[in-house]
Structure 1
Amino acid sequence: MWIAGVRALYLQALHPRAVRGVMHNSDFRQDAWGRLMRTANFVGTLTYGTADAAEKAGARVRRIHGMLSATDPDTGERYRIDEPGLLLWVHCAEVDSYLNVLRRSGLPLDGATADRYLAEQRTAARLVGLDPASVLADRADLAAYVEGVRPELAAGADAQAVDDFLLRPPTHPLLIPAREVLWRRVAELAYASLPSYAHELYGRPVPEPATVTRRLRAAGALLRHIPAHLRWQLPPRHILRAMARLGPDARPAPYKAGRLPAILDEPGEGGTNGDGGERGRWGTAD
């Protein structure tokens, strides 16, 4: 998931207006780890938290985005960073990255389950301010959307700055060796997993996809050998808190993919009650 998250950042940076909004309004270069953990906390809350916690997290993001704007680098136009087109690109880059990396790293998701994942993520899109009806709900629609938006993408100065930052994020001098040994490997594998058009825009050779997939499978196998109780500490204990709230049957396992209802299912989906509320086994808000 960390590799997928970095891949998403590489993709998102290729949209000139989206990345300009980040460059104008974010402190990520001064607080790299803090920004990363806040993003991970938001994703963890939407994935493993209660419906109430997810709604509150989404409202906070919408409130912050609603106050921010940026200037188009080409036209000089002032625009809001919560434009639906920009939110949709950020959303699609994220869900595409999670799905692509997880499947290539060995998580057993068949096509139908992958499409279900994308459909479920329309709830996450709603929480950041998008109309769920406008969000791609399966792999075919996602591929068609990406193909349509590609002419708008470019690796300008802002994207190059993000690229440099992701390879060499600022850190304490004593931690630079660890950054080079650990973080750079994550960033390089995330970059290698990008689609061919992204490599071409960034101006580097396109790696052999089969070689990248083997590397992702090796990384996945290695990371899954880390004891679960250690892996589940990040994002900040969301998985452990969900298991404590929902009971031992909620323990995550690959074989459960596609079987269990989503916590934020809409009425008539997956097992919510008739009026759209949560089923009893999901518990109450923290």
Structure 2
Amino acid sequence: MSALHLPRFIGSWRRQLIGTFSNNAVEIPQWELELAEGDDAGHFGPDSAVWAVHGSMTPIIAGVRALLLQALHPGAMAGVHDFSDYKEDPLGRLAGTIRWIFTVTYGDTAAAKAGSDWVLRLHERVHGTYVDADGAVQPYSANDPEIARWVHLAFTDAFLSSHQRYGGPIPGGADAYVAEWAVAGELMGIPDPPRSEAELRKQMAGYDTQLRNSAYVQEALKFLQRPPLPRNQLPGYKVLFAGAVASLEPKHRELLGLRAPHLGPVPLPVRFPVKLVLGVIRFGLGTQGPSERSARERLARLDRLAGGR
């Protein structure tokens, strides 16, 4: 490729990369711009553990890891299988998840509650039956506190563990992140979400006997191993998927039927290639996303108003 064509190629690649995370929106979505509005600082701030984790690139790996974990609960997986259109519209589903995460992370308290209430309303129609780990038929509902708790635990664990492995420091450490993100659990109607890393591990261990592999899990796993991404993004995604698998607890990898990357009996190091891919994505997406910029605009406006009193 000649130097003359390189800027055009990079521009096209960046637009395609941004499109993957924005459901191919040609402009910044309105909801991200509206995060600059609001009357308070929100649940978190620039010095918080949540901003440090969610504003990095590690959530890309964490999202894959969270889906792998969440799928192991047969009630949660039944809801995904019966009601989700993740295979027909994966970018739309990804964009919806990103919207909720960033609204709670960067919005004011009213926006965080409204965004969570919107998800809860969507979940009202998600109910049915599933076969549990003992072979018994059980009812499920996406808003059932125990299923919702597993989703929250899997999310918190995935984002924390991925950042610990592939990201930078967390202000206040792991306990601070778990305690801060407990707000998201409460907004989703989960009683007593964990507020320390030890409590997170304890609550997750309480689900060990309920987790299982199934045909539904293998169907989702096959999709996650090769999603319908642009061809130039697939090599990087394979590295990130390997990083997500390597970060799983051995018991969860075994349940999924996965192995950490290896060459024969020798484990392959994935930390460096994962960080390299994340660095390339950071170059493509920019150092600060629209949601964070909007939140900083809101905070600056509130500071000016407070100073003028």
TM-score of the superposed pair, with normalisation by structure 1? 0.75
Task: State the partner residue of 2:232.
Answer: 178
> Is 1:84 matched up with 2:138?
no
> Is 1:130 matched up with 2:184?
no
Task: State the partner residue of 2:173.
Answer: 113
Task: State the partner residue of 1:219.
Answer: 274
Letter in 2 for 1:186: L
Q: 1:132-211 alignment to 2 at 5 Å?
A: 134-170=192-228, 175=230, 177-206=231-260
Task: State the partner residue of 1:256.
Answer: none
Q: State the Cα deviation string for residues 169-197 of structure 1 (Å, max 9, x = none).
A: 235xxx3x324323222222212211111
Which residue of the other structure, out of 84, 87, 91, is the alignment partner of 1:29? 87
When the two chains are superposed, the root-mean-square deviation of aligned CA atoms in Å is: 2.7
Q: 1:194-273 alignment to 2 at 5 Å?
A: 194-206=248-260, 215-216=270-271, 218-220=273-275, 223-224=278-279, 226-227=282-283, 230-233=286-289, 237-247=290-300
Q: What CA distance in whole angstroms lies between the structure 2 residues aligned with 1:189 and 1:282?
A: 43
Q: What CA distance in whole angstroms lies between the structure 2 residues aligned with 1:41 and 1:15?
A: 24
Q: CA offset at residue 128 of structure 1? A: 1.5
Task: State the partner residue of 1:103.
Answer: 164
Q: CA offset at residue 227 of structure 1? A: 4.7
Q: CA offset at residue 76 of structure 1? A: 3.5
Q: What CA distance in whole angstroms lies between the structure 2 residues aligned with 1:104 and 1:282?
A: 38
Q: CA offset at residue 67 of structure 1? A: 2.5
Query: For the structure 1 residues 5 and 282, does the alpha-carbon distance in structure 2 shift closer, same or farther, using more than 3 Å as the test?
Result: farther
Q: CA offset at residue 231 of structure 1? A: 4.1
- Secondary structure of the equivalent of 1:119? helix
Q: State the Cα deviation string for residues 92-134 of structure 1 (Å, max 9, x = none).
A: 1111111111111141137x52112111111101111212xx2
Task: State the partner residue of 2:29.
Answer: none
Task: State the partner residue of 2:105.
Answer: 47
Which residue of the other structure, out of 111, 115, 137, is the alignment partner of 1:57? 115
Q: What CA distance in whole angstroms lies between the structure 2 residues aligned with 1:186 and 1:224?
A: 12
The answer for unaligned runs of 5 or more in structure 1 is 249-279
Q: What CA distance in whole angstroms lies between the structure 2 residues aligned with 1:90 and 1:216?
A: 26
Q: State the Cα deviation string for residues 184-226 of structure 1 (Å, max 9, x = none).
A: 2222221221111111112233458xx67x6335533663474
Q: What CA distance in whole angstroms lies between the structure 2 residues aligned with 1:97 and 1:119?
A: 15
Aligned length: 241
Q: What CA distance in whole angstroms lies between the structure 2 residues aligned with 1:207 and 1:218?
A: 12
> Is 1:17 matched up with 2:75?
yes
Q: Which moved more, 1:84-93 or 1:122-131?
A: 122-131
Q: What CA distance in whole angstroms lies between the structure 2 residues aligned with 1:4 and 1:77?
A: 29
- Secondary structure of the equivalent of 1:6? helix
Q: Percent identity?
A: 31
Contact 1:23 1:158 in 2 (8 A): yes
Contact 2:116 2:188 in 1 (8 A): yes
Q: What CA distance in whole angstroms lies between the structure 2 residues aligned with 1:282 and 1:183?
A: 43
The answer for unaligned runs of 5 or more in structure 2 is 1-58
Query: For the structure 1 residues 121 and 106, does the alpha-carbon distance in structure 2 shift closer, same or farther, using more than 3 Å as the test?
Result: closer
Task: State the partner residue of 1:267.
Answer: none
Q: What CA distance in whole angstroms lies between the structure 2 residues aligned with 1:122 and 1:77?
A: 28
Q: What CA distance in whole angstroms lies between the structure 1 residues aligned with 2:304 and 2:178?
A: 22
Query: For the structure 1 residues 96 and 69, does the alpha-carbon distance in structure 2 shift closer, same or farther, using more than 3 Å as the test?
Result: same
Q: CA offset at residue 143 of structure 1? A: 1.3
